[in-house]
Amino acid sequence: MKPQNGDTVRVHYTGTLADGTEFDTSRGRDPISFTLGEGDVIPGFETAVAELEVGQSATVTIPATEAYGDRNEDALQQFPLEAFGESVPQVGWGVELQNPQGQRVNAMVVEIGDETVTLDFNHPLAGQDLTFDLELVQIVSE
């Protein structure tokens, strides 16, 4: 039996990039648990899990548009270097900021100029097709 919207599922997964680089896995720890239809995971992942039966495995490639979206060049923004105070940022650092609505947002330092720091607010996996090896371990609620 396949899970339905509203069912909580437990899933083991391994995610890889197009070049085969593994970016995340649940192997070696507990499977992830989420409720279908609540948007807790990327859309393509949820769709693929909904097609599995308990104990079944599958390998699926999820296009960027159904994963973390396409890269948005407007998500690159410059900030004055002085906004970082005494802490001189380094390229590759992750930073957490607060937007005007009070929500926390993550960004990556991608460039440091003489007077500015360029931050990338895209998700690190934006613009990439993702491949997942999935196994539906359990449907917790049916």
Average of per-residue pLDDT across 22-34 = 96
| pLDDT > 70? residue 141 | no
Q: What is the pLDDT at residue 84?
A: 86
pTM exceeds cut of 0.85: no
Position 88 scores a pLDDT of 82
What's the Cα-to-Cα distance from 68 to each of 8, 27, 52, 122, rounded to whole Å? 22, 22, 22, 9
8-69+125-139 maps to CATH 3.40.50.80: no
pLDDT digits (tens, 9 = 90+) for 37-94: 999 999 999 999 999 999 999 999 999 999 999 999 999 999 999 988 888 899 999 9
Q: Write down the CATH number for the domain with range 73-120.
A: 2.40.10.330
Mean pLDDT of the chain: 94
Q: Is 96 exposed, middle or buried (0-12, 13-18, 19+ CB in 10 A)?
A: exposed
pLDDT (average), residues 1-26: 96
- Res 93: pLDDT: 93
- Give me the pLDDT at residue 107, please: 95
pLDDT at 22 over 80: yes
> Residue range 89-115: average pLDDT?
92
What integer is the mean pLDDT of 26-30? Answer: 95
Which residues does 69 contact at the CB level (< 8 Å), separation at least 6?
A: 123, 126, 127
Q: Domain locations in the chain?
A: 8-69+125-139, 73-120
46, containing H or E segment:
helix 43-50
